[in-house]
Structure 1
């Protein structure tokens, strides 16, 4: 039995697939912004009533902040690797510095600051409000391979969902 031919997929394509086809990203409205030359990955999440964590709808729910930071850090890892590879979040710590107000998009700016053979380390700043003030800092570690034989095949997914 021969293995299926692997197709090359760019980091930009991984990001596009994430924003367009991953249910959680679609459901919450996460968007990848242009990838900048500074090596950082930028995402934003528009303020929407169902993402509020308080009855008055003034602040983002902390779980939404966690999810955006995790997604931005994961995409930063792919960018740092220069290719897609199965990853999983091992640990994600979010230090909340101030409430994230819903008067503007929630912005995530992430970078993978260290790669080792099995582990990637990423950092993300979450910015909120019209002044884009720093409201949280996230630090994540990701395992870079999977021992599962049922690991997600991005190449098949990309082929099946080409636009």
Structure 2
């Protein structure tokens, strides 16, 4: 009997992660493009009251958490992970009053590192607010690097 996908637990993980819970992030789903989380627009998450766009730190947290979940999705089990490197390119301000989504995909695994790409967007990842490139350390991975 095969084990259910670890992604079946993602909604619970997001719902019980204190910062994700505090800012209202929810798990949207997992598909061929990766793991998607969503951040509903709230006035208390705005960085500049004049422009009414999300604070960059909130966007960073959304992308970082989505990237980590993409690593778990790829290894299909819980193992302790930590962000080694996170680069975010902000391409444009988020649109006020709109939910922000982030989709991340782990595109490469080695024995101890997962490499991830992600996008934050409102409607389509083809028009991103931000793009992220990340690397996560995986503690005691069971996977072996593939040539």
- The structure number with the bigger radius of gyration is 1
Secondary structure in 1 aligned to 2:36?
A: strand
Q: What is the CA distance between 1:16 and its match in structure 2? A: 2.2
Structure 2 residue 16 is matched with structure 1 residue 27: no
Match of 2:130 among 113, 125, 136: 136
Show the counterpart of 2:63.
69
Q: How far apart are the structure 2 equivalents of 1:131 and 1:108? A: 10
Structure 2 residue 6 is matched with structure 1 residue 11: yes
TM-score computed with the length of structure 1 as normaliser: 0.77
Q: How does 1:1-163 map to 2 (within 5 A)?
A: 10-36=5-31, 38-56=32-50, 58-128=52-122, 133-145=127-139
Please identify runs of 4+ aligned residues in structure 1 that moved more than 4 A: none
Q: How far apart are the structure 1 equivalents of 2:4 and 2:43? A: 35
Q: How far apart are the structure 2 equivalents of 1:81 and 1:61? A: 31
**Superposition RMSD on alpha carbons, in Å?**
1.9
Work out whether residues 18 and 25 of structure 1, in 8 Å CA contact, stay in contact via their aligned partners in 2.
no
Q: 5+ unaligned residues in a row in structure 1: which ranges?
A: 1-7, 147-163
Q: 5+ unaligned residues in a row in structure 2: which ranges?
A: 141-147
Q: Which has more strand, going by share of residues?
A: 2
